[in-house]
Amino acid sequence: MSTSIMNAENLVIPRPEFPHPHWQRQQWLNLNGSWSFRFDPNDEGVRSNWNKDSEVPFDADIRVPFSWASPLSGIGKDIKGIGWYRRTVTWSLPTAGGSRLFLRFGAVDYLCDVWINGSHVGSHQGGYGSFEFEVTGVWRMDGDNTIIVRTEDQDHNYQARGKQGYGEIRGIWQPVWLEVRTQTYIKDAKFRTFMDGRIEVAARIVADQAGTAELAMDFADHAVQHTVTVNLLAGENEVNTSFSVNDPKLWSPETPYLYEGALKLGGSFGLDQVSTYFGIREIATAAFGDRGYRWITLNGKPVYLNGTLDQSYHKTGYFTYPSDEEMHDEIYLMKRLGLNFVRIHIKPEEPRKLYWADKLGILVMEDMPCFWGNPDETARSAYEREALEVIERDYNHPSIFSWVMFNETWGLKTDPKEAGVTGNGGQQSSYLPETQEWVRDKYRWAKQLDPTRIIEDNSPCNYDHVETDINTWHFYINGYEQVRGHLNEVVNKTYPGSAFNCIGGNVQSDAPLMNSECGNVWGIEGGAGDSDLAWHYRYMLNEFRKHDKLCGFVFTEFRDVTNEFNGYYRLDGTGKDFGYDAFVPGMRIADLHSPDFIVIDAPPCRTVSAQEQVAVPLLRSSFSERYHSQKLKVQWELWHDDLGTRTVADSGEIQVDWDGYGVSPLSPLNLTMPDRDAVAVLAVSLVNEAGEVVTRNFTTFDVRSGETAGELLAGDGVIQIPVSSYAEQTFEHQWSSIQHAKVSGAGTGRFSYDITLPNITEKAAIHEIEIVFEAGAKRVLARNIEGSANTDMGIGAMHGADAKVEYNPNTYYMTDEEKHPSRLNVLVDGESIGSLVLPDDPADSRGVLSWHYQPVPNKLDEAGSYGYLCKLSVPVQLMTRLNHSRAFRLELQVEEGGGVTLYGRNAGRYPLDLQIRYKSQA
């Protein structure tokens, strides 16, 4: 069975666009699509001449360019070993002046051999680099051509594999294409750009024979042109030239201007033309003012790096995106959050996704893929070849500002006693001195190869830098005080000459301090499961921005993956609701990523007394000159939700001279808390001279009056009943949480409460009764039925282990676009007084009290969960009876949906127990 390209017009070609838009020739043929395929478990293919005999049956079809392990390949089997591909192609080359034909591969994992019409044309080792073979001499111009590819992926310890366990890369996993070139052609070219418009070009030209040629550069619709005459020798030639761009437009995430155009090489051989582009920008580090430390700069100015960790994983294509549109949308979704950079995690990115990073504007920190075995000579040699391929291929992308050579010492320890998820500081003895020196050598090698970018030796979780341009570290800690204390410690220990965050007798330079992984996915005992991250995220970013020395962070992570659920988005791209706009109207996650920011130096929630005087410190943090020398306003208000009515207790504004970079204190706010139980919100907005909001922030207070019941107005009253004090419940599965401040029932059932009203001597007549409570639907998890269980995935987490998330005791699904409603009937003495649809069982930053009353910071007990304010009046027909009886049974009954959850005073969103509010005559 052979797949022919002759019927390509009848096939839908996956990934039809040119694979490398930064280096594109006009004459090319996309070979993606259906190929014949066969596994070779006994390695018999070469012995049996599969490489030469096009009649040997291949028993399957595979969809290139998708890993054979992925669903989109059509194979969908995670089988390591050998796989053979075959395709028959008819394509004639232009004959004028003679042409050369190259077969190009975006990437193949891991070993690759290629035959054309039975002739071996080349071999390649490595899973991530692009490569090519010239096939001119074996290509039939006027007939069928059989392309056969043998790939082998044995998951050897020396292979650079990264985190393929999420979805294995096997065989061909990036596009394949044919490309026509002239006899003499441009092999590649590197652009080094400077802010003043100077462009240095280092090109390599492969000449068929010696002679003279003209190398021309034509960009920006002919506005930028430069031509140089070159004398070529037969073989490979290096040409260095430079030119200047007048009034250069600098590339940045805010203004991602690209100089698009072409390189043209002309001579007796004809014309070789390559479409390409460059962006003018400079990445560096610099000290400002009298600081003894540096910040990262873009185009000579400080840039605060708001970033995320991107696993670049897709559910159906694994590490190959199904379409160009989806790569575009990845960058869009990052920028939608207000992020300005992304760390591509332990893998180089596909060139088309890097193109969209260039085009749409987002900075990229690109990791080299790691190996998982010992750092022996075989692993080192394989790593070095791949790192060179990656840097050479991706050099011209203006979006890439940093190369990360290693991650968390993975692959750098010799015979470690155990392999942990994020490493183990106690194993540092296995990070041998000779390996540390090899890492130093790779750092210096990368700096020499690419002096335009920041190089990091190792992105550490074990405080084990050797030599680096950027001083980063990882942490996964939950709890406000814990995060605050950790950041204070790191900042205080960071200074030139400090041995902190270094290994082997090395010490810190004045390199910029930046976090390169953070979050709470591993900061919770047993893992955070699938839970709210909005609460933690806001106070963590607030703490980051408090420190002048810190210049950025990388949040783990952009999307959920197979066993981590801490993404801004679900794996399918659907959104999560952080709930910030409930505190400050219009607030989004992007407000926390503003280069100009107001720090509220306070806990995310503080318990205070009614009418207490509270001082709240504020700081300004500026990493942009946009508003420097302007007068901005900090507008604030203290408000609370009074049973559905937004009530402002106080408000004001502060004039601020917004001058200079960095962090500096502002005048504190002195607040008077409300006179009743409330979740009070301090909402802060920074407003520019045009009246536009620059950024928003908030903090909260649990205001306690000390009253449990009592008068509302003259003759009126309220009875508060703890939600756990029900007289009866009929659910098959029922439990309490958050220190009994919340009760839940799964499935159909009811909670019944016996209510006693004031007797007739206390209240002569009761005219109205309103029942008020907070309730949500109940999304029933496996642990609610079968009990919870910790799943210690260990190093398996890096290899796609099943997290069994519904059994995780910390799981309480964060609010997202999937809703789980229930219908709740409210009965008084068996008679219905109303029916409510509870839209969801949410958990996010709005569950202030459910977060505030967590007893242990690194264990979650339905954290962030909250419900909806429910208010029902007792009908007149029942009031006469209740006025006589002064007692009734209240039933909260679920007939459909997953169940119900009820929130008391110290849980949820509202500081109230089940309330019976009545109006009476004294």
Q: What is the full DSSP assignment across 692-754?
A: -EEEEEEEEEEEE-S-SSB-SSTTEEEEEE-TT--SEE--SEEEEETTTTEEEEESSEEEEEE
8 A C-beta contact, residue 252 and residue 363: no
Amino acid letter, 647 = T
Q: What is the mean pLDDT of each run of 10 residues along the chain (922 residues)?
A: 38 90 96 97 95 90 98 96 97 74 97 97 97 96 94 96 92 98 97 98 97 97 96 97 97 98 96 97 96 97 97 94 96 97 95 98 97 96 97 98 96 81 64 97 98 97 97 97 98 98 97 96 89 97 98 96 93 96 98 98 97 97 96 97 95 95 96 96 97 98 80 70 96 95 95 94 89 96 84 66 86 96 95 95 98 95 98 93 93 87 97 94 58
Nearest of 819, 811, 814 to residue 789 by alpha carbon: 811
The CA distance from 438 to 454, in Å, is: 19
8 A C-beta contact, residue 727 and residue 918: no
Q: What's the burial of 597, exposed, middle or buried (CB within 10 Å: 0-12/13-18/19+)?
A: buried
Q: In what order do the strands lie in the sheet with 235-244?
A: 185-193, 198-207, 235-244
CA dist list (Å): 96 to 141, 187, 211, 250, 394 = 13, 21, 19, 41, 32
8 A C-beta contact, residue 306 and residue 341: yes
DSSP string across 582-595:
GTSTT--GGGGG-S
Copy the structure tokens of residue 313: 């994983």
Q: Cα 364 to the chain's mean position, in Å?
A: 12
Q: What is the pLDDT of residue 673?
A: 97
Q: Cα 789 to the chain's mean position, in Å?
A: 27
Residue 800, C-beta contacts closer than 8 angstroms, at least 6 positions apart: 165, 166, 167, 562, 563
Nearest of 109, 90, 102, 202 to residue 152 by alpha carbon: 109
Cα atoms in the Cβ-side hemisphere of radius 13 Å centred on 666? 29
E runs forming strands in 426-538: 454-456, 471-476, 513-519
Q: What is the pLDDT of residue 6?
A: 38
Pairing state between β 630-642 and 645-658: antiparallel
Phi-psi region of 454 (alpha: psi -120 to 50; beta: other; left: phi over 0): beta
Copy the structure tokens of residue 49: 């001449």
Copy the structure tokens of residue 594: 């503003």
Q: In what order do the strands lie in the sheet with 662-672?
A: 596-600, 613-622, 662-672
